Amino acid sequence: MFLLFGFSFISVALFKPYSSVGFISHEDQLKRTRNSEYGKQLSLGVINYRDFENEYRVGLLIFGVLNILLLMVNMIDLNWIWFGFEVPAEFNLKSFVHEGTFLLIFSILLSMGIFLYFFRGNLNFYSQNKWLKILGNLWIAQNAVLTISVFIRNYHYISYHGLAGKRIGVIAFLLMTVFGLLTLIYKVNRLKTTAFLLRLNGWFIFFTLITMTAVNWDRMTAHYNLTHSNMGEIDVDYYLKLDESVAPLILKNIAVVEAQMEAHLARQNKEVWLRYTDIEAFKIQLEYRAQRYLENLEGTTWASWNAADSKMKGQVARAEN
Span 175-188, pLDDT tens digits? 998 898 888 888 87
Does residue 11 lie in a domain region? no
- Measured CA angle at 213 (ends 145, 181), to 5 deg: 20
Same domain, 136 and 81: yes
Tell me: pLDDT of 204 over 90: yes
Other Cβ atoms closer than 10 A to 273: 9
DSSP 214: T
Cα atoms in the 13 Å half-sphere on the side-chain side of 5: 2
Same domain, 51 and 101: yes
Same domain, 208 and 251: no
pLDDT of residue 198: 85
Q: How far apart, in whole angstroms, are the C-alpha atoms of residue 226 and residue 212?
A: 22
pTM of the full structure: 0.73
Does residue 7 lie in a domain region? no
Domain that holds residue 118: 19-212
Q: How far apart, in whole angstroms, are the C-alpha atoms of residue 157 and residue 252?
A: 26
Same domain, 114 and 246: no
Same domain, 126 and 143: yes
Same domain, 231 and 183: no
193, 22 in Cβ contact below 8 A? yes
Query: 221 falls in which pLDDT band (50, 70, 90)?
Result: very high
The count of domains in the chain is 2
pLDDT of residue 50: 62
Same domain, 151 and 69: yes
Query: 70 falls in which pLDDT band (50, 70, 90)?
Result: confident
Q: Which residues have C-beta within 8 Å of that of residue 234, sequence separation ≥ 6?
A: 161, 162, 225, 228, 260, 264
70, 142 in Cβ contact below 8 A? yes
Query: 41 falls in which pLDDT band (50, 70, 90)?
Result: very low
Greatest Cα pair distance, the chain, in angstroms, is: 89
Cα 166 off chain centre by: 9
Q: How far apart, in whole angstroms, are the C-alpha atoms of residue 234 and residue 261?
A: 8
- Could you tell me which of 154, 170, 172, 148 has the C-alpha nearest to residue 94? 154
Domain boundary among 212, 238, 269: 212
Same domain, 31 and 98: yes
At residue 192, φ and ψ (nearest 5 deg) are -95, 160
Query: DSSP letter string over 57-79?
Result: HHHHHHHHHHHHHHHHHHHHHII
Does residue 254 lie in a domain region? yes
* Average pLDDT value for residue range 285-293: 86
Domain boundary among 212, 242, 268: 212
Q: How far apart, in whole angstroms, are the C-alpha atoms of residue 19 and residue 167?
A: 40
pLDDT of residue 315: 65
Q: Which residue has the higher pLDDT, 151 or 108?
A: 151
DSSP 292: H
Q: How far apart, in whole angstroms, are the C-alpha atoms of residue 193 and residue 212?
A: 29
Same domain, 173 and 316: no
Instruction: Return the amino acid letter for 310.
Output: S
Q: Which residues have C-beta within 8 Å of that of residue 222, sequence separation ≥ 6?
A: 239, 242, 246, 249, 250
311, 272 in Cβ contact below 8 A? no
Does residue 68 lie in a domain region? yes
Same domain, 178 and 315: no
Same domain, 205 and 226: no
Does residue 27 lie in a domain region? yes
Does residue 2 lie in a domain region? no
Domain boundary among 212, 233, 258: 212
Same domain, 121 and 192: yes
